[in-house]
Amino acid sequence: MPTTSERVLNDPANFHHRPDEAGDPFAPFRAADPSRPFVIAQLGQSLDGRIATVSGESKYINGAPALDHLHRMRAEVDAVIVGASTIVADDPQLTVRRVSGRNPARIVIDPSRRLKSGARWLEEDGTQRLIICAQNASAQSCTGAERLELVSSNGAIDPRLIIESLFARGFKRILIEGGAKTISVFLDAGCIDRLHLLMAPMIIGSGRNGLDLSPIAELSRALRPKTYFHALGAGEFLIDCNLRQSAQEEHQP
């Protein structure tokens, strides 16, 4: 009898054959308690956990199945968040285009207000756009997004404050889409309920890590999320990590 984390579903169509998280990676989105925030992060990465080469080339590590999954995630949330460096590097639209569904609000964390106007996420399309910056930031940031100013310390805004402030504005299901630094900061702060690792059949061998968390000395302090595997197609697969549930007992040798 395989354990939950050993179950592999070979066909994405199977997602809906089981209504629970073992069969459908979107079941936890639907089951999320509306009285508290539900925060999910995603990382598209190679088999060795890289999101870019040493020169920063990252397009494209993932293929169509993982991109479809990312768009499905966007369609299932109220808001999508990225860090300022992702806007500079990729100029993403952050809209739902590959699947049907509505666009989530687009939120960018830009503490020092360094971003310029004219980026694609700022496009006027009826979707709410919000820029989160530090209260004392003096630079002029872009136009085209509402500004949310939050207390910061040495340029860092407490991720818990960000989530609380967004929840208070009615954003209940929130996707932290990237990049690596933003996801790592939210993960270190214990703000993420679920992490979707979208694995591409590629080994880069060097380059940028997907996650870069605070160092730990003992394995006993490692995060041991309960995991679910889903084949996406074309050799890509999803590891859905439930960061609110430990799989420690299952992992005992």
Ligand X SMILES: NC(=O)c1ccc[n+]([C@@H]2O[C@H](COP(=O)([O-])OP(=O)(O)OC[C@H]3O[C@@H](n4cnc5c(N)ncnc54)[C@H](OP(=O)(O)O)[C@@H]3O)[C@@H](O)[C@H]2O)c1
- Helix (H), strand (E), coil (C) string for the chain: CCCHHHCEECCHHHHHCCCCCCCCCCHHHHHCCCCCCEEEEEEEEECCCEEECCCCCCCCCCCHHHHHHHHHHHHHCCEEEEEHHHHHHHCCCCCCCCCCCCCCEEEEECCCCCCCCCCHHHCCCCCCEEEEEECCCCCCCCCCCEEEEECCECCECCHHHHHHHHHHCCCCEEEEEECHHHHHHHHHCCCCCEEEEEEECCCCCCCEECCCCCCCCCHHHCCCEEEEEEEEECCEEEEEEEEEEECCCCCCC
Q: Which is nearer to ligand X, 24 or 110 (CB)?
A: 110
Establish if 82 lies at the interface with ligand X (CB under 6 A). Answer: yes
Site residues for ligand X, window 92-111 (CB under 6 A)?
109-111
Phi, psi of 50 (to 5 degrees): -105, 145
Site residues for ligand X, window 107-136 (CB under 6 A)?
109-112, 114
Residue of the chain from 83, 104, 207, 225 that contacts ligand X (CB under 6 A): 83
Q: How many residues bind ligand X (CB under 6 A)?
A: 30
Give least dist CB 114 to ligand X, A: 5
Identify which range of 78-86, 117-125, 232-240, 242-250 contacts ligand X by CB under 6 A. Answer: 78-86
Q: Which is nearer to ligand X, 1 or 203 (CB)?
A: 203
Residue of the chain from 99, 181, 188, 229 that contacts ligand X (CB under 6 A): 181
Identify which range of 8-16, 82-90, 167-175, 238-246 contacts ligand X by CB under 6 A. Answer: 82-90
Site residues for ligand X, window 21-50 (CB under 6 A)?
43-45
Q: Which is nearer to ligand X, 8 or 156 (CB)?
A: 156
Q: CA-CA distance, 134 to 251, in Å (whole number)?
A: 42
Q: Which is nearer to ligand X, 154 or 252 (CB)?
A: 154
Site map (CB under 6 A) of ligand X, residues 193-232, x = contact? ----------------------------------------
CB 180 within 8 A of CB 56: no
Q: CA-CA distance, 247 to 188, in Å (whole number)?
A: 19
Establish if 58 lies at the interface with ligand X (CB under 6 A). Answer: yes
Q: Which is nearer to ligand X, 90 or 123 (CB)?
A: 90
Residue of the chain from 73, 157, 175, 199 that contacts ligand X (CB under 6 A): 157
Over the Cα atoms of the chain, what is R_g? 18
Binding-site ranges for ligand X (CB under 6 A): 43-45, 51-52, 56, 58, 82-86, 89-90, 109-112, 114, 155-157, 159, 177-182, 185
